[in-house]
Structure 1
Amino acid sequence: MPMEQAVACLFCAFLALLLLKLRKRGNDNNAATKITLPPSPSRLPFIGNLHHLRRSPLAHRALADIARELDAPLIYVQLGDAPVVVASSADAAREIMKTHDKKFASRPYPPTIQSLRPMGLGIFFAPYGALWRQLRKVAIVKLLSVRRVQAFRRVREEEAGRLVADIASTPPGEAVNLCERIFRVITDSMTRTMIGERLERREEFLVVLAEIVRIASAFTLVEFYPSSWLARVIGSTPRRAHASYLTTYDLAESALRQRQQRREAVEAPARPKNAMTGEEEEELMDELVRIQKEGDLGVPLTIGNVKAVLLDLFGAGSETSSDALQWAMSELMRNPRVMKKAQAELRDKLRGKPTVAEADLADLKYLKLVVKETLRLHPVLPLLVPRQCQESCKIMGDPKFWDDPEEFKPERFENSAVDLKGTDFEFIPFGAGRRLCPGLAFGIASIEIVLAALLYHFDWELPRGVAPSELDMTEEMGITIRRKKDLYLRPTVRVYL
């Protein structure tokens, strides 16, 4: 099972910290019942398998390498005191996220997350139970339904237009930092969706968001030895996490005040109306605060939960969408044939229209293939958010692979029924089962409109002296897998606003 195939098959879906409770059963007259664990590499005293992660700066690559050597779709590694099971085959993932979905529906609550979310948990880290079920219901029905996503299409179209105007103002021949511009347009789109306008303390928020990403994605002493008081004393992560928590919750409180002041400054008849329903437009924050005040969920929802949900949505939405767009543009620059085909489709369908609207995207079949192939080859979460096993169960499976898995070929999805909704376990960029990402529709909408605008309005060139095959595609580990180096491209306006 070559490493590249294992990564491409399931992007090494990392079901970390399953916390399998191994305990003796029976009495003195009966031998203890033992659970048969998946294959495991050799372990060292105290550190377990931590030394194996040094194979690569990217954890998913190191784990895929172990799976290849053991020729196993399911492996067991001991990271310090933390028992971890890794699934690297579609069938193993299917059993975990479908057959045994309920058993694996919970999340661990490690010390770092405890420090980042002491006032209440949001959608992503809440354990399986009544609170999580209600939060997910609110997210799917009230916040991120298809109707709600469509209601905010004006925001996405306007922000995509601002991005185009910003890039078009670049002096001829000058390269632009596309990573930076993409991240800003996605974060601005997210904040406008949440509170109706850009965040007043935007720069401060982006700085602390980057710090949270570094903290939450790091492998630290307290994660490997969660029960050790010494690890908590020596390690700086809990203190850094607590400092970030204080700043983020202050910023969330500031956003709540900003939204309230905006609403009070505008008389009800003059407030924006939903283009589809004609009703007063409610931002996501309005909806959450109203639900929290009404208190009819059946479980207590605190203002801490509200802030946690907002921060979860903002962090997940901004990081994943911007990283996916950066990888899409990188692959298109490395594959001129695909770039020309995608641009030809756009310019043929839009026929000189001054802007790209989301209504135009339905007919752009090849663009959608490009997005799918980007998410296959560069899953922004190759190590899925950890799940916790709540009871023992048996899991097995055999790997199945893509043809030419390391090649960027959008055509592989032509006439294919494989979708993004977690039903095809060889392709689960948004997860699957009960923990399927509730923001799937919002994320895809954000990616498609920005990518379409970039390809429609501009022709793109690499910096002088750089050939497509020489473009640096080095990955950097975080919560998501991003480009290690920013992407600089030279734009030429093809279709003016």
Structure 2
Amino acid sequence: MHKALQKISSEYGPFLQLRVFNFPVILVSSASVVYEIFKAHDLNVSSHGDIGIDECLVFGASGFIKAPYGDYWKFMKKIMVTKMLGPQSLERSRGIRAVELEGFYQNLLDKAMKKQIVNICEEALRLVNSTLGKMCLGSSFLQEKDEEEKVLKLSVEFAALSQKIFLTQVLRKPLEKLRILPFKKEIMNVSNKYEELLERIIVKHEEKVDEHEANEIMMDTLLAAFRGENAEYKINRKHIKALMAELFFGAGDTTSQIAQWGMAEILNNPRILERLREEIDCVVGKLRLIQETDLPMLPYLQAIIKETLRLHPPGVLLPREFQQGCTIRGFYIPKGTPLVINAYAVMRDPDFWKDPNEFKPERFLGQEEETREKALKFLPYGVGRRGCPGSNLASSLVETAIGVMVQCFDWKIEGEEINMEEASGRALLALAHPLKCTLTPRIPNPLPSNLQIPSS
């Protein structure tokens, strides 16, 4: 869909009004127009627009992502920032991520020793979901292997339905007028299974509440708000499950897909692989695993991830809605009009990016730094006050995961080059053909990264 909309914009212009079943939709495909909108109307477009299916656990009426910009959204964001995603929270949980990264390395090493084929996206998804779960629920998360596999399976199923969910959101008004609800049964089947699984996980956490210090982790704070224990905002149990589902699906699927796209680009470009490996060997060496504290000293690795996000953003279409009528570029836009920002087109806009369709990490080493006062051309995690609050964590997880894969293993692909074709039927970008490789250890038994973290 994003490519079809990009083609329409290239022919008719970057700021368009489309009509779908006679309902207007504003389509934006230019960095300069995005800047104009968010400079003057950020609050006005702070709503993510219509909810496709109210009862759905992901992107539904109980979720955080689609919640109106108000007290509930601000309360949930405050909890996420103070307990999980903010700088101080990330510092406190660094040891969790180090342990999970070591497990990621050991799992890859085991597959290498057994000469097994590795599905990079699946391995990255396991790493991300396990890390998020431990950060959210502590040691009680997924102690049973079958539950871990069920979370992974349901996250993948939701991802496969992402374009249908997006369509139910953008087209809700015309679909209601026509009295049809396409995809609802299919979507709710997955949602109900996810809700049952998350309820079991929460109950197990509650049974072990005495084993950890209350309110030290995000789940305890959410449960306290559910029980009404001095909460700024009382939430219900479905709010908690919806937030968890959106974390595992939204953060888990998107972050693992970024890792897969990044490795595909690296393996398709031997020069980039060699330069990245040289940087990691120089900064980290071969006696220990890469760790988060190394990242500021690895600018080329960071540039590779930024370039991956530019070419393959997790959310290609960003839906919003105008809360009040306003005028943009001389055109009046009525209240309630849907806005769709084609992030894919913005980040390949030839007016703002040199060689926009080529993978060039060097552009993020200073040559093409974004001029924010003129344009918003780099928006892989959204834009404005409703941008993704977990962008720093996501980038860190991808950078360390790719760092381990490049530092510790040599990779062999089938054929001469990886097929970069995009999967169809998804609102979140994915490779049409999952990246599967065989690997061999490159360095002998590096020390775990968690052994290298200075005590605080």
TM-score between the two structures when normalised by the length of structure 1: 0.77
Q: Once the 2 structures are TM-superposed, how far is the Cα of residue 291 of structure 1 from its aligned partner?
A: 3.7
2:156 paired residue number: 210
1:121 aligns with 2:62: yes
1:76 paired residue number: 17
Which residues of 2 match residues 191-210 of structure 1 at below 5 A? 191-197=133-139, 198-199=141-142, 200=144, 201-210=147-156
Give every structure 1 segment of 4 or more consecutive aligned residues whose post-TM-superposition deviation is greater than 6 Å.
419-423
Q: Which moved more, 1:204-213 or 1:288-297?
A: 288-297
- The C-alpha deviation readout for 1:4-24, integer Å capped at 9, x for no partner, is xxxxxxxxxxxxxxxxxxxxx
Q: Which moved more, 1:287-296 or 1:157-166?
A: 287-296
1:25 paired residue number: none
2:328 paired residue number: 395
1:135 paired residue number: 76
1:185 paired residue number: 127
Distance 1:297 1:423 in 2: 42
3-state SS of 1:490 partner: strand
Which residues of 2 match residues 376-455 of structure 1 at below 5 A? 376-384=310-318, 386-396=319-329, 400-415=351-366, 418=369, 425-455=376-406
Q: Once the 2 structures are TM-superposed, how far is the Cα of residue 453 of structure 1 from its aligned partner?
A: 0.8
Q: Which moved more, 1:296-305 or 1:479-488?
A: 296-305
1:159 paired residue number: 100
Letter in 1 for 2:403: A
Which residues of 2 match residues 316-327 of structure 1 at below 5 A? 316-327=250-261
1:231 paired residue number: 180
Change (3 A) 1:387 1:103: same
Letter in 2 for 1:253: E
Q: Once the 2 structures are TM-superposed, how far is the Cα of residue 82 of structure 1 from its aligned partner?
A: 4.4
Q: Once the 2 structures are TM-superposed, how far is the Cα of residue 91 of structure 1 from its aligned partner?
A: 1.4
Q: Once the 2 structures are TM-superposed, how far is the Cα of residue 323 of structure 1 from its aligned partner?
A: 0.6
Partner of residue 48 from structure 2, selected from 97, 107, 113: 107
Q: Once the 2 structures are TM-superposed, how far is the Cα of residue 243 of structure 1 from its aligned partner?
A: 2.9
Letter in 1 for 2:121: C
Distance 1:424 1:221 in 2: 31
Which residues of 2 match residues 275-354 of structure 1 at below 5 A? 282-294=216-228, 296=230, 298-354=232-288
Letter in 2 for 1:495: I
* Partners of 2:54 and 2:60 within 8 A in 1: no
Change (3 A) 1:79 1:493: same
Q: Once the 2 structures are TM-superposed, how far is the Cα of residue 281 of structure 1 from its aligned partner?
A: 8.5
3-state SS of 1:492 partner: strand
* Partners of 2:55 and 2:61 within 8 A in 1: no
Percent identity, aligned pairs only, is: 27
The two structures, once aligned, show a CA RMSD in angstroms of: 2.8
2:28 paired residue number: 87
Distance 2:58 2:407 in 1: 42
Q: Once the 2 structures are TM-superposed, how far is the Cα of residue 307 of structure 1 from its aligned partner?
A: 1.9
Change (3 A) 1:438 1:223: closer
* Partners of 1:163 and 1:185 within 8 A in 2: yes
Change (3 A) 1:421 1:429: farther
3-state SS of 1:460 partner: strand
* Partners of 2:53 and 2:168 within 8 A in 1: no
1:372 aligns with 2:306: yes
1:481 paired residue number: 429
Q: Once the 2 structures are TM-superposed, how far is the Cα of residue 77 of structure 1 from its aligned partner?
A: 1.7
1:96 aligns with 2:37: yes
1:495 aligns with 2:443: yes
Q: Once the 2 structures are TM-superposed, how far is the Cα of residue 391 of structure 1 from its aligned partner?
A: 1.7
Q: Which moved more, 1:118-127 or 1:246-255?
A: 118-127
3-state SS of 1:482 partner: coil
* Partners of 1:420 and 1:430 within 8 A in 2: no
Q: Over alpha carbons, which structure has the higher Rg?
A: 1
Q: Once the 2 structures are TM-superposed, how far is the Cα of residue 114 of structure 1 from its aligned partner?
A: 4.2
* Partners of 2:46 and 2:385 within 8 A in 1: yes
Distance 2:286 2:391 in 1: 30
Change (3 A) 1:346 1:132: same
Q: Once the 2 structures are TM-superposed, how far is the Cα of residue 261 of structure 1 from its aligned partner?
A: 2.8
* Partners of 2:113 and 2:440 within 8 A in 1: no
3-state SS of 2:44 partner: helix
Partner of residue 467 from structure 1, selected from 411, 416, 422: 416
Distance 2:188 2:114 in 1: 46
* Partners of 2:52 and 2:170 within 8 A in 1: yes
Q: Once the 2 structures are TM-superposed, how far is the Cα of residue 306 of structure 1 from its aligned partner?
A: 2.0
Letter in 1 for 2:208: R
1:248 aligns with 2:194: yes
3-state SS of 2:180 partner: helix
Aligned residue pair count: 418
3-state SS of 1:326 partner: helix
3-state SS of 1:453 partner: helix
* Partners of 1:161 and 1:453 within 8 A in 2: no
Letter in 1 for 2:272: V
1:145 aligns with 2:86: yes
Q: Once the 2 structures are TM-superposed, how far is the Cα of residue 117 of structure 1 from its aligned partner?
A: 6.3
Which residues of 2 match residues 16-55 of structure 1 at below 5 A? none
* Partners of 2:57 and 2:63 within 8 A in 1: no
Distance 2:45 2:114 in 1: 54
Q: Which moved more, 1:210-219 or 1:323-332?
A: 210-219
* Partners of 1:74 and 1:396 within 8 A in 2: no
Distance 1:342 1:176 in 2: 21
